Amino acid sequence: MKNILVLAHDDEGQEARLQAALDLGRALTGHITCLDVTYIPPILGNDYSEAGYAMAAVLADETTRERANKVTLEARFAREDVAWNWVDATGEAAACIVRAAALADVIVLNRRLENPSVIDMRRTASELIVKSGKPVLAVPGESRGIDLATALVAWDGSPCAAAALRAAVPMLRLADQVTLFSVDDGAMASPIEDAATYLSRYDIHPVIRRIEVQPGGAPKQLLAAAASGQYGYVVMGGFGHLRFTEALFGGVTRTMLTSSPIPVFLAL
């Protein structure tokens, strides 16, 4: 995990994204690509002449703001102790990121922002997990960096959970403590002990935490674990028994991309 793609866009979540990317870059001796997206929103309504004028005004404002953002951030990154480069793009956020992510190992975005910017971060993160084929690290807008020392790995035995576990190994190897967490609803496809055995082959020796399902189910219970203050980030795949592309907009994934107080590493 050496190639880190981070969205650079002048919004309230940018500092959280940048600090998480910088922490990853330093810890993994990686390379950060800053993708500065000048966002073009979709045309709304049926009056395309009026919509065109409105879009031109929005694009002009976005272009001015992102040019200034680039100047500020390039000066900042020149002072940082990480390898980096800058890429400019114009268009819809998810499409721009997918095009730029061909050789990325991980994409750094936000979970849902408390005061949404023009980019819907939760939906963008959900789309990218499916369309890019790359893991996404979704960070809260108020976070400042990522604590790699303690990791919570959510496990339901699904192929998506296994994919997330495999993708996160470079990060998990940096942790002092890794906890494998499962909510037992009696339908686990692969035992949590299999995940522990897999990690042990990378000299990662996790603690297993298995709890019974409670009212509110896995979404509420995983969110409570993430909010306990014991962990620096969560690793998870698609949960539940729906197809992952459906589950992205419901259940555990939706809950964590909406409300997680700590960064969430997701993979398909």
Range 67-87 average pLDDT: 98
Residue spans per domain, the chain: 3-139, 150-266
Q: In a 3-state reduction of DSSP, which class is residue 87?
A: strand
Q: Give me the amino acid identity at 240.
A: G
- The string of pLDDT tens digits covering residues 151-180 is 999 999 989 999 999 999 999 999 999 999
Output the pLDDT for position 45: 46
> Does 82 score more than 90 pLDDT?
yes
- Angle between helix axes 251-259 and 121-131 (nearest 10 degrees) is 130
- The string of pLDDT tens digits covering residues 172-227 is 999 999 999 999 877 787 999 999 999 999 999 999 999 998 887 889 999 999 99
Output the pLDDT for position 13: 97
Output the pLDDT for position 102: 97
- The string of pLDDT tens digits covering residues 120-139 is 999 999 999 989 999 999 99
Judge whether 3-139 and 150-266 match in fold. Answer: yes
Mean pLDDT of the chain: 90
CATH class given for the domain over 3-139: alpha beta
pTM of the predicted structure, to 2 decimals: 0.92
By CB neighbour count within 10 A (0-12 exposed, 13-18 middle, 19+ buried), where does 116 fall? middle
Percent of the chain with pLDDT over 70: 89
List, in order, residues 6 or more apart from 154 with CB less than 8 Å away: 161, 181, 182, 222, 234, 235, 236, 237, 239, 252
CB 265 within 8 Å of CB 232: no
Query: Considering the domain 150-266 in this protein, what is its CATH number?
Result: 3.40.50.620
